[in-house]
Structure 1
């Protein structure tokens, strides 16, 4: 099976590439903006015609799109998450390869949900920010393209390689610095947010399964269980062997953003409010702004029955193992 992977240098793309390369039946070609790609091509600025010529030359059976941006203003997000997908869809329609498209979407497309509920694929999307809007527009382009296509709406990916700016990555780094300096206290804020965490390696398995299946439309990829960041922090402290105290400092609800970060330092607390964030008190560091511009409020949990029934996929890796891997990478910086 010939597979063209777009965005192989990103957080998800790296694990998708690793998983696919372990399958001897897969012939993988990576296309992206980085030097590690087999072919350098920027989807946000490249023309559909140029991509069509490349598709006709490679003739893949499956195109997997992991490319995109999670940060930036509305214009940048639209260019990387929506215009880029329009380029992919148009090129695939023009090409004679008749490939299947696996598009990586995100749970931010749904927007806020009712606490205690599980969000299924038939939920009406109401994204709460420009990131979710840009990804939802991409999903609509894919679904309306007429291609053999599936969109995997990935909830909150975690595990090895978790970006340092994410809530759990930031927490692990703060814990590392506290242990390194001998500080016995971490002051944290925003730990009441609950998210559905799924290991990035399980996401890679889901992408592989989607490549081989005949399923179309939208499929949620998550653990099916919402976890409070406060509980994840306690587990991370345990796997790290952090013997100090985790003291939560509440932020007034009226001032919390829709997607609050775990704003932590070893000696100070930040509010992680994009519009009114204050500088951290330790060394004038930058404020902790939410790395998840998802607009998903305080609760998010996936209904993953469709992934089970149509892809034969279930998550395998427990959150504690994911957190242990995050900590191992943070500890290597001590």
Structure 2
């Protein structure tokens, strides 16, 4: 199995690389900031031309292409360039250079927008994103889904909920909390975050990587979009409290910072994982406590 992994130097990409290799795949790691080492290729899906991408894929003839690139925050133009343009480029290039390759793309729970409190959301729910991030991720998903349904592509979008674990980036609420706690432990004092009353579905990054590998290796994909989450909604406040306990932080956690616009309208979300379990045999293995411990140990 030959896999071209875009975004291999990023948070999800590093985890996917580890699992894919552990399962025996030959992984060509691609990043716009790739080191000049064997097994790495420099390519920027946002800025490099289609001809270069066709040449790259044609030289490898992969069995699967995994795209772990993307941007959480930025201007409208930046989010479109990072979350939509790469998908469009891959769809065009794969059809020319590697038409039998499977595309595994990563979507986001932000595509759903607000959902009924207490109910797990399934893939057939009408998407209603409330942020530019969610809108651009949905646009990417629809491009892939349309190509799959039309028979132009073998592919799937994994709608990832809230990934946490080792090397969690600062742009997430737990990433910000971990950094704030580390600073407070060093300098003293309390920490200040935004409101923490929302409920989120946290899934370990290692489990997400497992789903990526499952999708790459699966003999067939009966569904073009699959949720990847724990299936359980937890109050963010409770998870931050778990993080503080793991860190040994005894100060106060204030919630007076501004609301983060990317997810402020969504007060509850949990994944219905029925389809991904049926399609890939996938289910999460890491418990939340272990994931939170990994967040702290790798800040």
Question: TM-score of the superposition, structure 2-length normalised?
Answer: 0.91
Tell whether 2:34 aligns with 1:35: yes
Alignment correspondent of 2:112: 110
TM-superposed deviation, 1:83? 1.4
Deviation track 1:179-207 (CA, whole Å, cap 9, x = no partner) reads 22343x44554110111000101100000
Cα distance in 1 for partners of 2:68, 2:192 equals 35
Alignment correspondent of 1:150: 156
Cα distance in 1 for partners of 2:63, 2:163 equals 27
Alignment correspondent of 1:195: 200
Alignment correspondent of 1:12: 12
Deviation track 1:101-146 (CA, whole Å, cap 9, x = no partner) reads 1111111111111111111000001110111111111111111222
Change (3 A) 1:96 1:315: closer
Task: Say which SS state the counterpart of residue 34 (structure 1) adopts.
Answer: coil
Tell whether 2:123 aligns with 1:121: yes
Cα distance in 1 for partners of 2:288, 2:44 equals 34
Alignment correspondent of 2:243: 236
Deviation track 1:284-312 (CA, whole Å, cap 9, x = no partner) reads xxxxxx3x724551111111111111111
Cα distance in 2 for partners of 1:54, 1:67 equals 17
Of 174-183 and 126-135, the range deviating more from structure 2 = 174-183
Task: Say which SS state the counterpart of residue 108 (structure 1) adopts.
Answer: helix
Alignment correspondent of 1:3: 3
Alignment correspondent of 1:319: 288
Superposition pairs of residues 1-334 of structure 1, within 5 angstroms: 1-24=1-24, 26-36=25-35, 38-145=40-147, 146-183=152-189, 185-186=190-191, 188-213=193-218, 214-215=220-221, 216-242=223-249, 244-249=250-255, 270-273=256-259, 290=260, 293-294=262-263, 296-330=265-299
Cα distance in 2 for partners of 1:96, 1:60 equals 7
Cα distance in 2 for partners of 1:306, 1:210 equals 13
Point out where structure 2 has 5 or more consecutive residues left out of the alignment.
none
What is the root-mean-square deviation in Å for CA atoms of aligned residues?
A: 1.7
TM-superposed deviation, 1:23? 2.2
Q: Is the 8 A contact 1:195 1:227 kept in 2?
A: yes
Alignment correspondent of 1:283: none
Cα distance in 1 for partners of 2:92, 2:236 equals 40
Question: TM-score of the superposition, structure 1-length normalised?
Answer: 0.82
Deviation track 1:45-65 (CA, whole Å, cap 9, x = no partner) reads 222222112211100000111
Q: Is the 8 A contact 1:113 1:296 kept in 2?
A: no
Q: Is the 8 A contact 1:59 1:97 kept in 2?
A: no
Change (3 A) 1:295 1:218: farther
TM-superposed deviation, 1:22? 1.6
Cα distance in 2 for partners of 1:241, 1:18 equals 30
Q: Is the 8 A contact 2:99 2:153 kept in 1?
A: no
Alignment correspondent of 1:253: none
Point out where structure 1 has 5 or more consecutive residues left out of the alignment.
250-269, 274-289
Deviation track 1:213-239 (CA, whole Å, cap 9, x = no partner) reads 211310000000111011112211222
